[in-house]
Amino acid sequence: MYLQLTKPKQWLFVFVVPLLLVSCHVVLIGAYDETVDESIQKISTDVSTMIVKIEKNIDDHKPDDNKYENFRDSYIEIFGEIETLKIRSNSLPKYTKVTEQVELLYKNIQDLESLHKIGFTDKKLVETAKGLIEQSLQAMLAAQNALKREKS
């Protein structure tokens, strides 16, 4: 015998069953993670401090102080921080997009390091690289703010 449904019951099947299938609370992307957010902020501070130092050396006409060897330890520290952040984001559910961002940030710092190895003597070059890296970090922090899912 066919199941006979009254109008309200039909309504429930049409609207409620799809809602049940997607559960009562939908989660499409990972929850906000304070450690990830703080790590991005720490990397942002460290990268900005390093680039400001490079710019200051150019302004003060101290090209020898801008040699890559003088900044090698700073790069190692920043790469270490990004690796740690990558391990953290990889361990979180539904965090693949954030992990992709972290991998791209790593590539950006590698490019910055390669530029530095060739030589940072031109202020415009440093400013262009700084602008792009800052834009990357700001975009990553904007995504973290969205993940907080705060309602205005």
114 to 133, contacts with another protein by CB under 8 A? 114-115, 118, 121-122, 124-125, 128-129, 132-133
Asked if 97 is part of the footprint of another protein (rule: CB under 8 A), the reply reads: yes
In whole angstroms, what is the distance from residue 68 CA to residue 117 CA?
5
* Residue 146 interacting with another protein (CB under 8 A): yes
Indicate whether 14 belongs to the interface with another protein (CB under 8 A).
Answer: no
For another protein, the closer of residues 45 and 128 by Cβ is 128
CA-to-CA separations, 7 to 12, 16, 49, in angstroms, rounded: 9, 13, 67
Residues 20-79 that bind another protein (CB under 8 A): 20, 22, 24-29
CA distances from 20 to 5, 6, 15, 137 (A): 19, 20, 9, 38
Residue 30 or 53 with smaller CB distance to another protein: 30
Number of residues that bind another protein (CB under 8 A): 44
Segment interacting with another protein (CB under 8 A) among 16-24, 36-44, 66-74, 79-87: 16-24
Could you tell me if 125 and 94 are in contact, meaning their C-beta atoms sit under 8 angstroms apart?
no
Q: Tell which one of 3, 7, 14, 15 touches another protein (CB under 8 A).
A: 15
- In angstroms, give the least distance from the CB of 101 to another protein: 5
Q: Which residues bind another protein (CB under 8 A)?
A: 8, 12, 15-16, 19-20, 22, 24-29, 97-98, 100-101, 104-105, 107-108, 111-112, 114-115, 118, 121-122, 124-125, 128-129, 132-133, 135-136, 139-140, 142-143, 146-147, 149, 151
